[in-house]
Each structure stands twice: as structure tokens, then as C-alpha cells.
Amino acid sequence: MIVVNLDVMLAKRKVKSKDLAQAVGITEQNISLIKTGKIKGLRLATLDAICRFLECQPGEILEYRDEEGG
């Protein structure tokens, strides 16, 4: 399963969801959905904009975990 660690990156960078939403050009509600993993997909352009703003790699936001192994 894919785990979204966006909330961790926001905390590390001391950035509010509101500021990220404005910089990326999406709503705070969509940022919230991404943070909770309640999305079925994420556009690469959106991921690119998030990574550019937070100065991080996609692997710092998205993580694969084996469902069996946890």
C-alpha cells in the first residue's frame, strides 16, 4: 500500500497546509485529502509542485509499505 507522508514533510518544513495549497494552486481541502491518503490518484504536475515548494523528493512524501509486513 502507498502511504502519504505529506503531513510529516509539512511539519519538518514548518509549512501550513494553507500556504502549500496557495503555492501549488489547489484547495486546502484537496491538500487535506492528499494528507489523509483519501485520494485515488495524484497528478504528477501536482506532486512536482509540492516537491518544488517543500524542496523534497517524491519518496519523502510517498512511501510503499507491504500490507502483510506492515
CATH of residue 25: 1.10.260.40
Is residue 70 in a domain? no
Instruction: Please determine, for residue 15, whether its predicted confidence score (pLDDT) is greater than 70.
Output: yes
Fill in the DSSP letter of residue 62. E
**Mean pLDDT computed over every residue of the chain:** 94
- In total, how many domains does the chain have? 1
pLDDT top residue among 58 and 37:
58
**What is the per-residue pLDDT across 35-54, written as a single tens digit (0 to 9) for each?**
998 988 999 999 999 999 99
Instruction: Please determine, for residue 70, whether its predicted confidence score (pLDDT) is greater than 60.
Output: no
In terms of residue numbers, what domain contains 8?
Answer: 2-64
Rounded to whole angstroms, the Cα distance separating 18 from 48 reads 18
Is residue 26 in a domain? yes
pTM of structure: 0.88
Rounded to whole angstroms, the Cα distance separating 41 from 68 reads 23
Is residue 13 in a domain? yes
Instruction: Please determine, for residue 68, whether its predicted confidence score (pLDDT) is greater than 80.
Output: no
Is residue 30 in a domain? yes
